[in-house]
A and B are shown apart, each in its own frame.
Chain A
């Protein structure tokens, strides 16, 4: 009987030495405890999940890119040039916000949030081009020079949509919906405004006195 216990103890030691303990890092594919061939079920279903692979298509991906010149039926037709391209009917960049965009505190808050996620790493949270990646060699423009101050709203929108002409900045159209791009444009305008304030902008008398403005 002793031998049976010894064999059992040996099996335990063997298992632990082969399988190790919980929480250890490993690089091989995880063990499938209930493999599909032994326990056919629902774990692997004949369907494609987002960003998964497929052997049917030559490029191996299940997500299909849009063919050229096709408008997805799931999206509204983006016919409004001012709203979706930042251009007027003559093809020039619009200098005002499109009619569908209402500039209020909500839009500015949204613009600030999106700006800090997508723009601030390069352009800096103040818009001065001093983002965190500057020291690694990314050359981002400051919003506080005349070229960008004079830039039409539509052109800023276009830069977000299609990237800069130099292609140092790439398109952010996949990350920012058109409405969000306009919110970011509004926030960029606010950042620019923040450095162009004059004493005349302070209207509150008490604040004027506390700042020593006559």
Chain B
């Protein structure tokens, strides 16, 4: 009777185990790399109904963020501006531009301009803009250098790990009151060292929550 299995098949179980380990490692690496907001959200730059350039308005002209996002200091929600805000200037500047037609139509009819929401959080995340910008956290920490973006792109992952990194070390991220809306400013820690940052969070009694219910309700 001939042998049913050749001798080399004795090594097969070990080879299968090694292959599964290698394959498992590669698959884990793939999931880690691709299935987090660092891949799925960073770089998201949808085409907006009006090609509004933050680089021109907030960067070159130096308009304050709050000129348009006027509720950011008062409300948990930082508003997309009303079309009347655009018309404050664009009733005189480029008032016949075809690119601005959706804004003019909105200002006349009251229908909303269908802006595409970029920095969206899941519904179980409660992020309060006012609580952050009034306590030393600049726009740039989460949104990146919007003042240099012609087309706004999702710059930071805004994942839970991203939030917690700052909530655990607020002293490295806080800015002085006058620097919050200056996206080119430096943090207190960058300006005068982490000690000054620690003093700031102690003086301002900044205690970012790390408990679940701090952000999830």
Contacts and interface: CB of A to CB of B under 8 A. Distances in A.
B114 to A, nearest CB: 9
B92 A26 contact: no
Contacts of B153: 25
A42 B92 contact: no
B93 A137 contact: yes
A171 B35 contact: no
B91 A45 contact: no
Contact of B123 (A24, A26, A42, A169): A42
A47 interface: yes
B40 to A, nearest CB: 5
B43 A137 contact: no
A122 B80 contact: no
Interface string A116-141: 11100110000000001100111100
A175 interface: yes
Interface size class of A (residues with CB under 8 A): 35 or more
Contact of A133 (B23, B39, B61): B61
B105 interface: no
Contact of A27 (B15, B26, B47, B63): B47
A30 B159 CA distance: 14
Nearest to A29: B46
Contacts of B92: 137-139, 168
A10 B39 CA distance: 21
A8 interface: yes
B5 interface: no
B122 A121 contact: no
A146 to B, nearest CB: 24
B19 A171 contact: no
Interface stretch (B82-90, B133-141, B168-176, B198-206): B82-90
Interface size class of B (residues with CB under 8 A): 35 or more
Question: Which of B34, B41, B91, B110 is the most central at the interface, judged by chain A CB atoms within 10 Å of its CB?
Answer: B34
A33 interface: yes
A136 B89 contact: yes
A49 interface: yes
Contact of B46 (A27, A47, A136, A167): A27
A171 B80 CA distance: 17
B64 interface: yes
B121 to A, nearest CB: 9
Contacts of A89: none
B123 A45 contact: yes
Nearest to A140: B92
B98 to A, nearest CB: 18
Given A23-B38, A168-B91, 5 more contacts: A50-B79, A51-B79, A122-B89, A168-B92, A174-B84
6 contacts: A8-B26, A26-B43, A42-B123, A42-B124, A116-B64, A170-B91
Interface of B: 15, 19, 22-23, 26, 30, 33-36, 38-47, 61-64, 66-67, 70, 75-77, 79-80, 82, 84-85, 87-89, 91-94, 110-112, 122-124, 151, 153-154
The 8 A-B pairs of least Cβ separation, nearest first, read A50-B77, A42-B124, A45-B123, A43-B122, A175-B70, A117-B64, A136-B93, A25-B43
